[in-house]
């Protein structure tokens, strides 16, 4: 027995329960769907090699998934090797379509996304800050979603709804305890979205940064990276964590509120009530303060102004970016020491500002990160840009299909969704 | 499909690989061993109920584990219900014995521990600070371990060695990058312990706080708790994390260095080189400074002095404890916001000081933790006390047996260990 073999590589499989045959089959169905969903069309041979399952098991699983309408197969191309070419399997996007919703501080967005990550349609609408109740917001979202859902053929299967929101979310039922930058407290958002869209079930809500992390991990800068921190800047700072290849949610889904870790007790008061939180020192308000910009309308205006002035070489703006970047880096150093990630991805407004922040961020990080974890952690900007949380919301909703492919079948768009009913009522 | 069902409860099983039959069997063997190891003697019926595996599978697994010498069975007691009483299965400690080693700042400890957590023998020796090279330390440990290993009958199977050390450890090979409070840097400790004990294989090394967390999770204050933070106070502050029921190690095993997160940039310089780290504000040196105690010899003296003076109602000491406790609590609030744990366990010197620190810790935590995660997180002191990391080191070594029960067989103490050779050479 070698040292590495007895390390914790099998921990993920070591549960307190055994695995019975039916559960094994569901797991294996999910494994095949997940693989195709994430890596695209794959030959049967590559599925055999990649999953470790034998050829006949793979054949059975593909047959079941084909019956479920989730995958389809086409003859493989002739290759130079001997024998028949291996058929190519791919996901069938209409077999599981989800509605993704993002509620952020400066905008609201919706998208229809099919299995495999196929985006049918998406819409984003900017909104001024702080003027919208949860009720108004859900109504707005329902109106935005209506044409997207109506555009889907009725043979498409609506498999769920995923919602990204800038707040502290209880995962079990999508209850938003606090969204300080929306001015919301104790909002049963999951139930409200279900009612507003006349879908009482299958609505999953999560924090925006958590979903940004999921999206970057599955389809962005963090593909193949098992330990990732996604830092989202909008009005505040949120963090989404991928630990051992899986989202780290905490006991109720509240994990990742790194914006509210104290980093400077002599600093500014934070919207959460504490003093010197990371977001109070490195967030948008601090940037505007240092740069001498008076907030007008949305944070997008602030970021646009900063970028324009930085491009023009404005000294005060560049100094402000250096100051913010240093604090941002110190906080990243803190997280590197705690999480030992491979990658830190800066998203939201930090993605836009990254060219101007990068050197100060690296400097701040070096001040705080210990050598060993610091040398392993690469810092980069988001690949997916402002849509990362929206894509993450789609991935969240699709994760239900992956967890139990056979449980999704039988809900056509017409059955599952009520746009048509509404038109008739 | 209900909302909760499509949440991530199956994430742990959703891997990028399928599960083939042989792997399933190894997993199920491990599931049974783990269950017996953690919960003690269990009836066959309860194993069936608890694992979700059927009666005949459980029977086969028990037969194989009995052949491997890892479990034994006895007739069950007659119950009031109908039918024959179900036989009771239990672990056989001699079937897999490990040597646990702890290298902390103020002491060195060793123990021999069998499957099921049976402690055969243990020894702890106090040491003055900062005078021991890695080579001397390994020699000392080998001498301490010799009588414990010699006391084991040769029929016992030595399954591995686990080492807890106060440093930043690469898990793959037990390389210690930095142990500032031992004065060590770049020490290949895993290899050195293997050589020193003439066991070139099966030595696993991990950070002391990580192993304290593992021990409290498996056998202490955190039994049944899936999201746990263990805070270890000795010279510095370390954190061990249990996330979703599993140790969170980070990409290379360095995770949990929360002692080196900046919490007060106007504060004191830390041994790591940065300013205002958590351990510089809430650690032992800060306590001694505030309490006006000049360090002499070991940190244990400082803690003893503080406890004696606090008991006597000494004002300056009580003020110092309040100050330290508040900083400790603020840092705990930071971690609560990031991790959303169910439980925070204070270990090491904080366990000893807990009665005097508790109210200030709770106050500091309230200052920083957001309501939602703050209300869910209970703060308590270690159940296992100073031995938590040592017990965690045994659990780490035994995790190899759980991961692959069939891979352990065939190494008797005489074969696997060299005390006898040494006596003969």
CA dist., res. B334 & res. B346, Å (int): 15
- pLDDT tens for B394-418 read 999 999 899 899 886 545 544 444 3
The shortest C-alpha distance from B177 to chain A (Å) reads: 7
Task: Find the radius of gyration of the CA atoms of chain A.
Answer: 23
Element (H, E) at B362: helix B349-368
A106-120, A409-423, B98-112, B135-149: segment of lowest average pLDDT: A409-423
User: Tokens 């707040």 label which residue?
Assistant: A167
Architecture, CATH, for domain B8-91: Orthogonal Bundle (1.10)
User: Which residues, 6+ apart, have CB-to-CB distance to B83 below 8 Å?
Assistant: none
Cα distances (angstroms) measured from residue A2 to each of A5, B396, B408:
5, 14, 11
Architecture, CATH, for domain B96-210+388-424: 2-Layer Sandwich (3.30)
Please, which residues 363-382 of chain B have a Cβ atom closer than 8 Å to chain A?
A: 367-368, 370-373, 376
Q: Is A224 on the interface with B (CB under 8 A)?
A: no
CATH fourth-level superfamily of A97-210+388-424: ATPase, nucleotide binding domain (3.30.420.40)
**∠B407-B408-B410 over CA atoms, to 5°?**
110
User: According to the model, what pLDDT value does residue B353 have?
Assistant: 96
| Residue A303 phi, psi (nearest 5) | -65, -45
Domain boundaries, chain B: 8-91, 96-210+388-424, 221-383
CA dist., res. A370 & res. A392, Å (int): 31
Domains A19-91 and A224-383 share a fold: no
User: According to the model, what pLDDT value does residue B408 have?
Assistant: 61
Residues of A in contact with B399 (CB under 8 A): 6, 8, 11
Mean pLDDT of all residues in A49-68: 94
Element (H, E) at B239: strand B237-243
% of residues, chain A, pLDDT over 70: 88
| pLDDT at A252 > cutoff 80 | yes
- Choose the closest CB to A17 out of B51, B174, B342: B51
% of residues, chain B, pLDDT over 90: 75
Contact flag A407-B5 (C-beta cutoff 8 Å)? yes
Helix axes A21-39, A55-67, angle to 10 degrees: 80
Instruction: Provide the CATH number for the domain formed by A19-91 in this structure.
Output: 1.10.10.10
Task: Provide the pLDDT confidence category of residue A18 given band limits of 50, 70 and 90.
Answer: low
Mean pLDDT of all residues in B339-345: 98
- pLDDT tens for B35-91 read 999 999 999 999 999 998 999 999 999 999 999 999 999 987 756 566 678 899 999
Architecture, CATH, for domain B221-383: 2-Layer Sandwich (3.30)
Please, which residues 3-22 of chain A have a Cβ atom closer than 8 Å to chain B?
A: 3-20
Please, which residues 151-210 of chain B have a Cβ atom closer than 8 Å to chain A?
A: 160, 168, 170-174, 177-178, 190, 201-204
Task: Provide the pLDDT confidence category of residue B296 given band limits of 50, 70 and 90.
Answer: low
| pLDDT at A420 > cutoff 50 | no
Distance of CA B408 to the CA centre of its chain: 21
User: Which chain A residue lies closest to B11 (C-alpha atoms)?
Assistant: A246
- pLDDT tens for A360-417 read 999 999 999 999 999 999 999 999 999 999 999 999 999 989 989 988 654 555 444 4
Residues of A in contact with B246 (CB under 8 A): 8, 11-12, 244
DSSP string covering A133-198, please? -HHHHHHHHHHHHHHHHHTS-TTSBEEEEEEEESSEEETTTTEEEEETTTTEEEE-HHHHHHHHTT
- pLDDT tens for A73-124 read 998 775 656 667 889 999 999 999 999 999 998 899 999 999 999 999 999 9
Contact predicate B101/B417, CB 8 Å: no
> At the topology level of CATH, where does A224-383 sit?
Nucleotidyltransferase; domain 5 (3.30.420)
User: Which chain B residue lies closest to A275 (C-alpha atoms)?
Assistant: B368
The shortest C-alpha distance from A312 to chain B (Å) reads: 32
- pLDDT tens for B177-196 read 989 889 899 999 999 999 99
Residues of A in contact with B201 (CB under 8 A): 1-3
Contact flag B19-A32 (C-beta cutoff 8 Å)? no
User: Which residues, 6+ apart, have CB-to-CB distance to B131 below 8 Å?
Assistant: none
CA dist., res. A358 & res. A384, Å (int): 18
Which of A225, A220, A256 lies closest to A241, judged by CA? A256
Please give the ipTM for the structure prediction: 0.88
Classify B159 as helix, strand or coil. strand
């Amino acid at each position: 027995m070698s040292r590495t073999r007895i390390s914790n590589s099998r921990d993920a499989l070591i549960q307190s329960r055994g695995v019975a045959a039916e559960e094994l089959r569901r797991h294996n169905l999910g494994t095949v769907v997940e693989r195709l969903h994430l890596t695209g069309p794959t030959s049967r041979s590559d599925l055999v090699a990649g999953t470790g399952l034998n050829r006949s098991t793979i054949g059975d699983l593909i047959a079941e998934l084909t019956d479920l309408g989730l995958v389809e197969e086409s003859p493989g191309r002739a290759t130079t090797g001997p024998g028949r070419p291996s058929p190519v399997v791919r996901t069938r996007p209409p077999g599981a379509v989800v509605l993704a919703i993002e509620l952020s501080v400066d905008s609201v967005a919706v998208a229809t996304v099919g299995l495999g990550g196929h985006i049918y349609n998406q819409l984003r609408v900017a909104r001024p800050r702080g003027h919208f109740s949860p009720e108004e917001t859900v109504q707005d979202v329902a109106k935005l979603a209506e044409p997207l859902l109506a555009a889907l053929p009725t043979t498409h299967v609506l498999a769920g709804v995923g919602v990204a929101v800038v707040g502290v979310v209880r995962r079990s039922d999508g209850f938003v305890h606090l969204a300080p930058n929306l001015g919301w407290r104790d909002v049963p958002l999951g139930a409200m979205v279900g009612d507003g869209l006349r879908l009482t079930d299958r609505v999953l809500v999560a924090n925006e940064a958590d979903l940004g992390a999921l999206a970057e991990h599955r389809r962005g800068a963090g593909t193949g990276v098992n330990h990732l921190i996604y830092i989202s800047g909008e009005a505040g700072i949120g963090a989404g964590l991928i630990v051992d290849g899986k989202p780290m949610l905490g006991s109720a889904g509240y994990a990742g509120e790194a914006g509210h870790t104290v980093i400077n007790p002599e600093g500014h008061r934070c919207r959460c009530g504490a003093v010197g939180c990371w977001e109070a020192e490195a967030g948008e308000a601090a940037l505007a303060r240092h740069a001498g910009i008076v907030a007008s309308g949305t944070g997008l205006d602030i970021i646009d102004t900063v970028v324009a002035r930085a491009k023009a070489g404005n000294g005060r703006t560049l100094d402000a970016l250096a100051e913010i970047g240093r604090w941002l880096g110190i906080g990243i150093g803190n997280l590197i020491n705690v999480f030992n990630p491979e990658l830190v991805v800066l998203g939201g407004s930090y993605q836009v500002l990254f060219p101007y922040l990068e050197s100060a961020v690296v400097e701040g990080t070096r001040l705080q990160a210990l050598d060993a974890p610091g040398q392993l952690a690469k810092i980069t900007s988001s690949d997916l840009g402002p849509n990362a949380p929206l894509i993450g919301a789609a991935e969240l909703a699709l994760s239900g299909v992956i967890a139990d492919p056979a449980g999704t079948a039988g809900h056509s768009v017409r059955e599952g969704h009520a746009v048509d009913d509404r038109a008739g009522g």
